Structure formats: C-alpha cells, structure tokens
C-alpha cells in the first residue's frame, strides 16, 4: 500500500498548480454499486479555505474503499479490514443519546403536539433531543409519530402520524453567506443571478436538482425541483454541478411545508439550537416568505 500512497502523492505534487483547487468526483471514495461519487468528504472539505486546499494532498483520493481494502488484505493488514464503519455520532458511541446530551444541557420539559389538530400527545425532556424526521417515542401510543417542527421558544415538538406526512416536505430554503470552494461564485450564477445545479444536506442522500438564486449579500435561495424531506435549520446545503462540489451555505430559513401550503395557512419556521425561528433580515433578492 505504501508504494501506491507514495505514487499518488508524487502525482499530485507534479500536477498541483497555483490555481483555484476544485473538488472533483475523483477525490471521493466509491458509493453503492461501485460507482465513484461524493461522500462525507464533501461535507468537511467544502468549508476549507482555498489557501489550505492548494496545499492539500489526497494520496488515496483516486482509490475506492473496496480497492484499498483489497490492498490491505494482500498485505495482511487485518486491523484495517476489521475496522467497523463509523455510524451516527462517533464520539457518543453506544451510549444512550438522550442521557449523553442531558449530561451537558439542562432538561427543558415540553409537549408533543399533533400538527393536525393541536392535541397534546405526551411530554418530553427537551426539544433539542429531537431531529426533524425522526420517530418520536411517545409513551402510550402504538402508532408511530414523527417530528415535523420544533418550537425552541415554547419548548414544544410538533409531530405528524406518518413518515411521509406532507409537513415533513419543503422545496424552498435560504442559506447564510455561501462558502465557495473556488473562492468566487460560479460565473453563470454571477451573470444570471440564477443557476441550475444539485444540492444535498445529509451524508449519502441523493443529490437533489435545484435552482440557486443569488442575493446581494452573498446568501442564496435554493428552490428544489421536488420537495425534500426533513430540511432543518442549522444544517449545511452543499452544492454540486457537473461532477464538482461548488461549496456550501448554512440553512437559516425555510419555506412553508407542503402541509402548510395544502392548508392555506402560515406557520413559523422551524427553531433550532434555541435560536429565534428562521430570522434572516439581511437584504437580498429571491423569494420572500
């Protein structure tokens, strides 16, 4: 394996030039079906400065995980083969997530409330213990309910009775100022103020076709071609086009859910991390909520 690493490093040294570094598919491990694609590396590197990326080497960047494991097997590196995949929050490990979080945050009891009829279904120890889209374990109820919104001010968690409930789906969001891997927004976006591309906000989720609308303050509106499940404030929308990771922006504001649009009424945006709901009053262009 060592000679392959050295060969890759030498190749990268020869080919690196003083120009904007671009994150291409060849620098990611394979995904399902043996196809090369973007992986969790994007969700880390898309926030690294261009100055640092110009000096970064990826000796295994062009190799798939399966091929690296094959090399390890041929060289009897059994500890590499036996290493388990990292799942969930690695630093929590096998500990109960709720108990772990409550070691550091004071409980903030609240209610589980049905988004359909505002009926109180149960209580919880803190809205910050729940993620949008996850199943809410509500004592005394047999049927599954899922988290669709969180009210950090009142401490309530709104839930819906199905994993595909329309309250979980949105097609519009606004980010904070975007960090572009190449330091500047794509030329087409600057010229036209709009651009078609793809985005994702979770590791390993399928890329979602969308349209970006550039605002004067460097933020963007993201309009998904099809409504997406469980968008949440505080996550990062990572943008891609033509096999390249362009950059990312923190999600600061969400459009109405499909359920809200169906009902013809307006609900507050989702609250996260105790901040006020979806406030982003910076000037810009694009849709308004």
Q: What is the CATH number of the domain that holds 206?
A: 2.40.30.10
Same domain, 156 and 234: no
In a domain, 216, yes or no: yes
Contacts 24+ apart (CB under 8 A), 271-275: 271/127, 271/150, 271/151, 271/152, 271/153, 271/233, 272/150, 272/152, 272/232, 272/233, 272/234, 273/128, 273/152, 273/234, 274/128, 274/152, 275/152, 275/233
pLDDT confidence of 86, banded at 50, 70, 90? Answer: low
Same domain, 191 and 225: yes
In a domain, 102, yes or no: no
pLDDT of residue 91: 63
Same domain, 173 and 227: yes
Q: Which of 140, 163, 186 is the last residue of a domain?
A: 163
pLDDT tens sequence across 5-35:
444 444 444 334 444 545 544 333 222 223 3
Same domain, 257 and 171: yes
| Average pLDDT of the chain to the nearest whole number | 79
Q: Does residue 107 register a pLDDT over 60? A: yes
Across the range 106-115, mean pLDDT stands at 96
In a domain, 132, yes or no: yes
In a domain, 79, yes or no: no
Across the range 269-276, mean pLDDT stands at 38
pLDDT of residue 59: 78
Q: Does residue 270 register a pLDDT over 80? A: no
Same domain, 176 and 256: yes
pLDDT confidence of 264, banded at 50, 70, 90? Answer: confident
Structure tokens at 269: 């945006």
> Total structural domains in the chain?
2
pLDDT tens sequence across 195-237:
999 999 987 789 999 999 999 999 999 999 999 999 999 999 9
In a domain, 99, yes or no: no
pLDDT of residue 100: 87
In a domain, 73, yes or no: no
Q: Which residue has the higher pLDDT, 14 or 101?
A: 101
In a domain, 56, yes or no: no
Same domain, 178 and 259: yes
Residues of the domain holding 155: 108-163
pLDDT of residue 79: 82
Same domain, 195 and 253: yes
Q: Does residue 88 register a pLDDT over 80? A: no
Same domain, 177 and 239: yes
pLDDT confidence of 151, banded at 50, 70, 90? Answer: very high
Q: How far apart are CA 149 and CA 131, in angstroms?
A: 9
Same domain, 129 and 188: no
Same domain, 226 and 257: yes
Across the range 143-172, mean pLDDT stands at 95
Same domain, 150 and 206: no
> How big, in percent rounded to 5, are the helix, strand and coil portions of the chain?
20, 25, 50
Across the range 126-140, mean pLDDT stands at 92
Q: Does residue 45 register a pLDDT over 70? A: no
Q: How far is CA 281 from CA 143, 285, 289, in A?
A: 40, 12, 11
Same domain, 139 and 203: no
Q: How far apart are CA 210 and CA 224, in angstroms?
A: 4
Write down the pTM of the prediction: 0.71
pLDDT confidence of 289, banded at 50, 70, 90? Answer: low
In a domain, 175, yes or no: yes
pLDDT tens sequence across 170-203:
999 999 999 998 889 999 999 999 999 999 998 7
């Amino acid at each position: 394996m060592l000679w392959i690493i050295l060969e890759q490093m030498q190749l990268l040294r020869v080919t690196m030039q003083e120009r904007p570094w671009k994150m291409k598919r060849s620098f990611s491990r394979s995904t399902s079906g043996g196809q090369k694609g973007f992986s969790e590396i994007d969700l880390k590197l898309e926030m690294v400065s261009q100055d640092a990326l110009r000096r970064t080497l990826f000796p295994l960047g062009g190799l798939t995980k399966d091929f690296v494991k094959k090399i390890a097997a041929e060289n009897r590196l059994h500890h590499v083969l036996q290493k388990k995949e990292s799942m969930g929050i690695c630093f929590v490990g096998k500990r109960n997530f709720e108990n772990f979080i409550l070691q550091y945050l004071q409980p903030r009891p609240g209610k589980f409330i049905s988004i359909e009829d505002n009926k109180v279904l149960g209580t919880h120890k803190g809205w910050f213990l729940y993620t949008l889209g996850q199943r809410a374990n509500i004592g005394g109820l047999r049927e599954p309910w899922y988290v669709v919104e969180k009210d950090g001010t009142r401490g309530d968690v709104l839930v819906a009775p199905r994993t595909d409930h329309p309250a979980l789906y949105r097609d519009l969001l606004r980010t904070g100022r975007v960090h572009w891997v190449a330091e500047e927004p794509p030329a087409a976006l600057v010229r036209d103020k709009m651009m078609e591309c793809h985005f994702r906000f979770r590791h390993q989720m399928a890329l979602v076709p969308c349209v970006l609308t550039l605002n004067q303050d460097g933020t963007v509106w993201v309009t998904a071609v099809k409504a997406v499940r469980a968008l949440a404030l505080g996550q990062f929308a990572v943008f891609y086009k033509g096999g390249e990771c362009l950059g990312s922006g923190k999600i600061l504001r969400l459009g109405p859910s499909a359920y809200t649009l169906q009902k013809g009424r307006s609900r507050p945006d989702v609250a996260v991390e105790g901040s006020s709901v979806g406030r982003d009053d910076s000037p810009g262009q694009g849709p308004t909520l």
